[in-house]
Structure 1
């Protein structure tokens, strides 16, 4: 019950209110043959994904860091305890992330509780404008925002209007990735086609550089991919719950479908809302709705948490860094949430290294053998 309640908080809040995928490093050692018949010099091919923030991942027409940051907490008082006096540190957190090479920030038009709905978008726009670093760095920031499938958004025009409202809140001329927050196929299938047409319209009008979806399962993803393709609009990404707590058969099938279609997975909740950080126990629970969920799930996670801790100690990393790195090794772009400079610094430690294949297998075995799992988002379709 508590688990269902928490997932509903995220989305009811909304109701209320292949190597081509990676670019080469910036610096390359190479030379063309000269008159002296010198041989070309180049680095040997690297196996697997690149992990430094400046080694960007291709998502449609965009180049983004291999990890982004999520901003669900920016404006959410109910679940994350947001207060407006936090804005100064949130700005510092944003500045640090951008300086270190992170250029992907995820948000949504529904993020923020009550009168603060849309606060996450407003803050992101403000932070971009007030960033004191080089203009090129500021211009390279990619905002991925999600548009809620509210029941009153019944036409493509209303969805385009939602996109324009997000642009106004952020004071931007164009959004990096415009995403449908969830599918209505399970409860209002007639609305779904209008939302898809809305994505097409905002792309054709140049309001977004790329189009993505969120909370789509493999079957519905294929349907929207085919529809958008027929309209000349490429689907670049799908954002889903993906972590060591969320690797069921459906997520595996989705990953396979995305690989075949060339659609990038953006992994939200890579730390299981904080359960994989090692900071909480059955006797030390977070406040609010998260505590109800943690009380149900944490007792069954001993095999996974023990394995995470063991690998973290051996590697000189934190449990959070290991869990995020696992998501990257699986070919996804994780977007852990951040509220503080300290959290941003810790998450940045997930980059620049990679788990070995035996460690990846060890973690997945422990996850499979843990008796509890994270409940999947009730809005994710098949």
Structure 2
């Protein structure tokens, strides 16, 4: 627990006030040395309403918790992942996003299993909101099969009810009949009390309005829409989805707020990650210099890091970002995106830098119009 406290009181999270207090504490040799007050990263009234739920302004994504192919997960990482979860919860984060497909090979569903284990050991388990996504697999052809998928997630997490049940992607582009069955599956899991709220992921503006109207006619409110949203993914579709969400009272959850790591400042054309990400980075990174320079300038001025500025941009745009974390250092850095706000001038500089980038993030292949 002492290790956790040292991370929770990091200056990068709490700013110069805590840094000064920490320095004062370390300079005293008295056993009763002054211990700085741990300021919250956000106050209770700054939580965000998401249908019947109240969540932190930022959540944590858990795509990497079980994915070996893209993120190099190993089961030996589980102890650190639990520390990450504890660190997030200790600092007020109560929204965790996952999916029944997260995990590769025999580890399919591993993310949900780990979250369930961590929640059971938490002292604030009743305050935690899990948003899980159900894959539109080809064999899920009926509402009953989609309900069964939800029950499978509940079993893996050993929970009685999921916070937000989300359709992972739309099948409208290739199997429209299956799409209607999946919508009815959302209705069924909501009516059966298996989820507190429902949402969608990777829905474009037109299909988002369609499912909103369909669910509304069935007495089911659509509470969330999850899309790829970052300084690398701010095209017309994202802006239109955001506008629709604002007008209909849907909360937009921003996944990949750091562009799979391209907006961390840790990589360059000569320093690429291994695996499939390296191939993507090689195409896009060479054109990101203006944007990364702007991010770096603002980060230096604010005494923040580049990832913290990029995540705060998402928050400032009115979305709920869900950055991932595989290490305590990454989790600590994510938390440093809270507790402050970019100015309008800084937002304009970042928007301009994003527009100057010659290549954007490749969109999810299941993203619909």
Contact 1:145 1:178 in 2 (8 A): yes
* Alpha-carbon separation, structure 1, partners of 2:158 and 2:58: 24
Task: Indicate which of 49, 55, 77 corresponds to 2:68.
Answer: 77
Deviation of the 1:370 alpha carbon: 1.3
Partner of 2:9: none
Contact 2:95 2:130 in 1 (8 A): yes
TM-score by length of 1: 0.85
**Structure 1 position 296 matched with structure 2 position 283:** yes
**Structure 1 position 356 matched with structure 2 position 343:** yes
Contact 2:41 2:91 in 1 (8 A): no
Partner of 1:328: 315
Partner of 1:18: none
C-alpha change, 1:61 and 1:115, in structure 2 (3 Å) is same
In the TM superposition, what are the counterparts of 1:144-155 in structure 2 within 5 Å? Answer: 144-155=131-142
**Structure 1 position 210 matched with structure 2 position 197:** yes
Mean Cα deviation higher: 228-237 or 51-60: 51-60
* Alpha-carbon separation, structure 1, partners of 2:251 and 2:188: 22
Task: Indicate which of 40, 52, 59 corresponds to 1:61.
Answer: 52
Contact 1:51 1:66 in 2 (8 A): no
| Structure 2 gap ranges (5+) | 1-39
**Structure 1 position 258 matched with structure 2 position 249:** no
* Alpha-carbon separation, structure 2, partners of 1:144 and 1:254: 19
* Alpha-carbon separation, structure 1, partners of 2:242 and 2:111: 29
Contact 2:100 2:135 in 1 (8 A): yes
* Alpha-carbon separation, structure 2, partners of 1:340 and 1:185: 37
* Alpha-carbon separation, structure 2, partners of 1:348 and 1:75: 22
User: CA RMSD, aligned part only?
Assistant: 1.0
Contact 1:53 1:100 in 2 (8 A): no
| Structure 1 gap ranges (5+) | 1-49
* Alpha-carbon separation, structure 2, partners of 1:279 and 1:53: 31
Partner of 1:107: 98
Contact 2:41 2:92 in 1 (8 A): no
Task: Indicate which of 244, 265, 275 corresponds to 1:278.
Answer: 265
| Other structure's SS at 1:112 match | coil
In the TM superposition, what are the counterparts of 1:91-102 in structure 2 within 5 Å? Answer: 91-102=82-93
In the TM superposition, what are the counterparts of 1:159-174 in structure 2 within 5 Å? Answer: 159-174=146-161
TM-score by length of 2: 0.88
Partner of 1:90: 81
Task: Indicate which of 294, 304, 329 corresponds to 1:342.
Answer: 329
Moved over 6 A (4+): none
| Other structure's SS at 2:66 match | coil
Contact 1:53 1:66 in 2 (8 A): no
Task: Indicate which of 220, 223, 234 corresponds to 2:221.
Answer: 234
Deviation of the 1:53 alpha carbon: 6.4
Query: CA offsets per residue over residues 13-56 of structure 1, 9 Å max, x none?
Result: xxxxxxxxxxxxxxxxxxxxxxxxxxxxxxxxxxxxx9716431
Task: Indicate which of 182, 196, 217 corresponds to 2:183.
Answer: 196
Q: Kindly tell me the number of residue pairs found equivalent between the two proteins.
A: 329
* Alpha-carbon separation, structure 2, partners of 1:239 and 1:371: 25
Query: CA offsets per residue over residues 180-234 of structure 1, 9 Å max, x none?
Result: 0000000000100000000000000000000000000010000000000000000
Contact 1:53 1:102 in 2 (8 A): no
| Other structure's SS at 1:239 match | strand
Partner of 2:42: 52
Query: CA offsets per residue over residues 122-144 of structure 1, 9 Å max, x none?
Result: 0000001122x3xxx22100000
Query: CA offsets per residue over residues 101-135 of structure 1, 9 Å max, x none?
Result: 0000000000000000000000000001122x3xx
Deviation of the 1:340 alpha carbon: 1.3
